[in-house]
Amino acid sequence: MTIDRRTLLQTLSGLAAWSLASRAAPALAQAGSTPAPVAFGRLSAALTGYPDPDPATADKVWRAFATPARRNALDALAALVAQTPPAELDAALRAQKLDLIANQLVAAWYSGVVTTDHGPQLVLYTDALVWKAMTYSKPMGVCGGATGYWANPPA
């Protein structure tokens, strides 16, 4: 039996994709059948104080932030946040030594930058929470309104 180069490459790429998908499948489900970005969005909302981000935005940050090195800590963080009342969360994070990853996650959401093994990675720009927190400002390059909008004081 002879196999041409195209068939060989298709087979090898299919095997590689299957291998990656089988490794990623457990990570794509968290909290039962909830997809990881949705659960990640809920966790992020609990830590940042802002409503759940839209799934596409949560997915962007999830893909950059949920590295294999952070996965166990993120699972522990999600479990702790889910079972701890908000008033007791800071103390519980410190006690479980999860305050560092919680702070990294909040910093990523506010700045839009995720620190990776390869250095900082810009994941969000206009959707970074800093722009919601600083209601008097806007991202550079984003129009603030009709000409002359700057004459009115910030809301």
pLDDT of residue 107: 94
Q: Positive or negative CA dihedral for 63, 132, 89, 93?
A: positive
Amino acid at 143: C
DSSP string, 12-78: HHHHHHHHHHHHHGGGGB-STTSBHHHHHHHHHHHHHSSPPPPHHHHHHHHHHH--HHHHHHHHHHH
pLDDT of residue 23: 40
Which residues of the chain fall short of a pLDDT of 70?
A: 1-35, 155
pLDDT of residue 27: 40
pLDDT of residue 4: 67
Please state, in angstroms and as integers, the Cα–Cα distance from residue 26 to each residue in 10, 34, 98, 150, following that order. Answer: 25, 11, 22, 50
The pTM for the full model equals 0.70
pLDDT of residue 104: 94
pLDDT of residue 105: 94
pLDDT of residue 35: 54
Q: What is the pLDDT of residues 9-36, one digit of tens each?
A: 555 555 444 443 334 334 434 444 455 7
